[in-house]
Amino acid sequence: MIVVRQKPVDEICAFVTRHRRVLLVGCNTCAAVALAGGEKEVDLMAELLRLATSRKASFVEFSGTVLTRQCEPEFLEQLDSEGYDAILSMACGAGVALLASSVDVPVYPALDTLFIGAAQGLASWEAECSACGQCVLGRTAGICPITRCAKGILNGPCGGVSDGRCELGDRDCAWVLIFQRLEKFGRSKEFLEIAEPQDHSLRTRLVTWDAHEDGIR
């Protein structure tokens, strides 16, 4: 999923205090699962903004609604934004962008988009994928070195590893984990294959993707 986090209320206030009637729009897929943009969070954010803006003696009205997904036009069609002079989107960057292109009022982001990640426990996620467009997980035992190694190294641990921890001190060394898992499956020899540098032109050109091009119907 796309992991998101709410922006500080002050930052959001700076967007909305220029307006009179603001519609908060939640997103009931990733942002809801990330506890940042579901129905509850929309209601809570509206309350917070009412409080915060009233202290600043500005009079902004806030209402809220939630869409199934903001990154798909068919769900955006269900949005009724009549009478609002601004929208606060509580979705990932893709949701904000599509919503902004489909309405005639300013759309502001209430969230920061953090990464493509997986749940580690209750309300906790870890980055697992950098959307590089050329997945290497097949040779790295399912652990992404581009995402989980701070340097994105493709050929094994750097000299900064200490007792299996990254030199940044905030994560396990991805390459120690990869090595251990390859070993567990009797694949340690694969570790010795030199991985060539990534072709970043692929990613540079990946701005659109039409599945029909691949014959998918």
Partner 1 sequence: MSLREALESGRFAVTSEVGPPKGTDVSQMLDTAEKLRGHVDALNVTDNQAAVMRLCTLAACVHLAQKGHEPVLQVTCRDRNRLGIQSDLLGAASFGITNVLALTGDHVIMGDHPQAKAVFDLESVQLLEVVGALNNGTDMAGNDLSGTPEFFAGAVVTPDAHPIEPQLAKFEKKVRAGANYFQTQAVYDSESFLGFMETARSFDTKVLAGIVVLRSAGMARFMNKNIPGITVPDAIIAELASAQDPVAVGIEIAVRFINDVRDSCDGVHIMAVGAEHLVPRVLDAAGLWEVPS
Interface residues toward partner 1, by CB under 8 A:
150-164, 167-168, 175-176, 179, 183, 188, 191-192, 194-197, 200
Q: Which is nearer to partner 1, 83 or 160 (CB)?
A: 160
Q: Which is nearer to partner 1, 92 or 177 (CB)?
A: 177
Least separation in angstroms between residue 114's CB and partner 1 is 17
Q: Which is nearer to partner 1, 65 or 130 (CB)?
A: 130
Give the residue from 73, 75, 79, 117 showing the smallest Cα distance to 98.
Answer: 73
What is the DSSP secondary structure assignment for residue 139, as one 8-state letter?
Answer: T
In which element (H, E) is residue 104 found? none
What is the DSSP secondary structure assignment for residue 200, as one 8-state letter?
Answer: H
Q: Which is nearer to partner 1, 105 or 161 (CB)?
A: 161
Pinpoint the alpha helices (H) of the chain: 9-16, 30-33, 39-55, 73-76, 93-102, 145-148, 174-184, 200-205
Contact 31/111 with Cβ under 8 angstroms? Answer: yes
Task: Quote the CA–CA distance of 217 and 213 in Å, as a whole number.
Answer: 10
Cα–Cα–Cα angle for 132, 127, 73, nearest 5°?
65
Q: Which is nearer to partner 1, 125 or 179 (CB)?
A: 179
Task: Quote the CA–CA distance of 145 and 153 in Å, as a whole number.
Answer: 6
Least separation in angstroms between residue 198's CB and partner 1 is 8
Least separation in angstroms between residue 78's CB and partner 1 is 40
For residue 14, give both structure tokens.
């700076």
Least separation in angstroms between residue 190's CB and partner 1 is 10
For residue 201, give both structure tokens.
């032109």
Measured distance between the N- and C-terminal CA atoms of the chain, rounded to whole angstroms: 24
Q: Which is nearer to partner 1, 129 or 153 (CB)?
A: 153
Least separation in angstroms between residue 175's CB and partner 1 is 6
Least separation in angstroms between residue 18's CB and partner 1 is 30
